[in-house]
Amino acid sequence: MGLLDGRVAVVTGAGRGIGREFARCLAAEGASVVVNDVGAALDGAGADETPARQTCDEITAAGGRAVPSHESVTDYEAAGRIVQAALDSFGRIDILVNNAGIVRDRTLLKMTEDDFDAVMAVHVKGTFNCARHAAGPMREQGYGRIINVTSSAGLRGNFGQTNYGAAKAAIMGMTFIWALELGRHGITVNAVAPAGATRMTASLFERSGTPPPPEADPALNAPIVAFLASERAGHVNGQILGRTDYAFTIFQHPRQIAFMWRDGGWDPAGVAEHFDQILGQHLQPVGMTMPTGMEFRAPSTRTST
Ligand X SMILES: NC(=O)c1ccc[n+]([C@@H]2O[C@H](COP(=O)([O-])OP(=O)(O)OC[C@H]3O[C@@H](n4cnc5c(N)ncnc54)[C@H](O)[C@@H]3O)[C@@H](O)[C@H]2O)c1
- Kindly tell me which residue out of 24, 39, 138, 226 binds ligand X, with binding defined by CB under 6 A: 39
Examine residue 147 and tell whether it contacts ligand X (CB under 6 A): no
Helices (H), the chain: 17-28, 50-61, 76-90, 113-120, 126-141, 152-155, 162-182, 202-208, 222-228, 268-274
x/- letters, 8..27, toward ligand X (CB under 6 A): ----xx-xxxxx--------
Q: Does 154 bind ligand X (CB under 6 A)?
A: no
DSSP 185: G
**Residue span 181-220 as binding mask against ligand X, x where in contact by CB under 6 A, dash where not:** ------------xxxx-xxxx-------------------
- The C-alpha atoms of residue 33 and residue 53 are separated, in whole angstroms, by 12
Residues near ligand X (CB under 6 A), total = 34
* DSSP string for 193-213: E----STTTHHHHHHHTSPPP
> If binding is defined by CB under 6 A, does position 242 make contact with ligand X?
no
Position among 9, 67, 73, 95 found at the interface with ligand X (CB under 6 A)? 73
Count, residues in the chain: 305
Judged by DSSP in three states, 117 sits in helix
Stretch that binds ligand X, among 70-78, 128-136, 138-146, 289-297 (CB under 6 A): 70-78
164: annotated active-site residue: yes
Instruction: Convert residues 110-129 into a mask of x (bound to ligand X by CB under 6 A) and - (unbound).
Output: ------------x---x---
Among candidate residues 76, 143, 164, 246, the one labeled active-site is 164
Residues whose CB is less than 8 angstroms from the CB of residue 94 and which lie 6 or more positions away in sequence, other chains included: 7, 8, 9, 31, 138, 141, 143, 144, 145, 229
Q: Which residues bind ligand X (CB under 6 A)?
A: 12-13, 15-19, 36-40, 42, 44, 51, 72-74, 99-102, 122, 126, 149, 151, 193-196, 198-201
Residues marked as catalytic: 164
